[in-house]
Amino acid sequence: MTGKTSIEAKSVASSDSTTEEIGIERIQEMLPHRFPMVMIDRVENVVPNESAIGIKNVSINEWFFQGHFPEKPVMPGVLIIEAMAQTAAVLVVRTMGPDFEGKLVYFMSIEDARFRKPVVPGDTLRLHVTKQRQRANVWRFKAEAYVKESLVAEAGYTAMLMEE
């Protein structure tokens, strides 16, 4: 254990910028999602207005493994996409500021989703999300999901931050 608490966002020095690590308690302040739909455990390397890396520790105790598939559990691809979207939503809220905490970020489109390898219990998903562009409250992202060094899924998507 590094001694960091997950309650607050912490600055982490990198070679060219300051990045942040955001724990689950802070994620729940930033996003409206709750069990069973919280798909990320923490977000690392947050560079506001640029990128972030979501972390999902996949456990055999996940609710979706009861039916997908009991004899050979595989994380549903749509939930990998949701984990990517939640990582992006944390990035959006962090970029926009505290007034946007708890606001909904809706999918507008998902493009070029590809699932390369199955994600199974015991895997740690690293969800690399990069902002490609933004116009007003509409954001475009590119996301890649990795287990260790292997690309397991990728997608591009557009989302809208709802202000009401």
Number of domains within the chain: 1
Is 68 labeled as catalytic in the residue annotation? yes
Does residue 3 belong to any structural domain of this protein?
Answer: no
| pTM listed for this prediction | 0.88
Does residue 157 belong to any structural domain of this protein?
Answer: yes
Does residue 2 belong to any structural domain of this protein?
Answer: no
CA distance 21 to 43: 6
| Domain region containing 108 | 10-161
Q: What is the pLDDT of residues 141-154, one digit of tens each?
A: 999 999 999 999 99
CA distance 91 to 146: 18
Does residue 4 belong to any structural domain of this protein?
Answer: no
Does residue 156 belong to any structural domain of this protein?
Answer: yes
CATH number of residue 46's parent domain: 3.10.129.10
Active-site pick, 28, 45, 50, 68: 68
Does residue 1 belong to any structural domain of this protein?
Answer: no
Does residue 47 belong to any structural domain of this protein?
Answer: yes
pLDDT at residue number 18:
56
Q: What is the pLDDT of residues 96-137, one digit of tens each?
A: 999 999 888 899 999 999 999 999 999 999 999 999 999 999
Rounded (10°) CA dihedral 139, 33, 44, 96:
40
Structure tokens given for 69: 């598939």
